[in-house]
Amino acid sequence: MIRTLFATLVLLASTLGTACSNDGPAALRAAAPVAELFPLKVGEVTLQVQVPLTDAELARGLMFRDSLDPDHGMIFCYREPGQKSFWMNNVPIPLDIGFFDSEGVLREIRSMFAYDRRSVISSRSDVRYALEVNKGWYQRNNILPGARIDLADLASALKARGATAADYVSK
């Protein structure tokens, strides 16, 4: 799936010398995908999200998946806001990504295309969360810039994953 450029570089640097195929580094393929699903309200819609936290989970993202269930997604959380970059290497399904600020406000939505290796970079430098969903999900659910993610839902998911929610969610 998609991951930040930084997480990708960290993982790729740590796996130099690992056998690679046309499908990507063996370490990414072998890394277990995030399994747990958590409810996350976005605007007035609740979806089920996965929350990657380890470097391997962040780098793998939604890679090597043939589909993503309707009303499911993956949210990437960052300790610090900044400009974020994602790509679709080894992701066979088209996605949309929403970039959210520290307050959980949706600031922009971008489309991403299957197997596209070009980076999709947020236009803003205050991005704290990035939510990937099936292409068209934001439009179908009338989720527009200005909508908010429920930060209490997100904090609960982070805590359930063993993270310190305060590292990712500001009060």
**Locate tokens 């971008």: which residue?**
110
119-123 average pLDDT score: 95
94-113 average pLDDT score: 97
Q: What torsion do the CA atoms of 103, 104, 110, 116 make, to the nearest 10 degrees?
A: 100
Q: What pLDDT score was predicted for residue 171?
A: 58
Q: What pLDDT score was predicted for residue 102?
A: 97
Of 94, 106, 84, the closest CA to residue 62 belongs to 94
Q: What pLDDT score was predicted for residue 31?
A: 52
55-77 average pLDDT score: 92
The whole-angstrom separation of Cα 141 and Cα 135 is: 12
Query: What are the CA-CA distances from residue 150 to residues 32, 60, 119, 125, 154 (Å)?
Result: 27, 25, 27, 21, 6
Q: What pLDDT score was predicted for residue 64?
A: 87
Its pTM stands at: 0.82
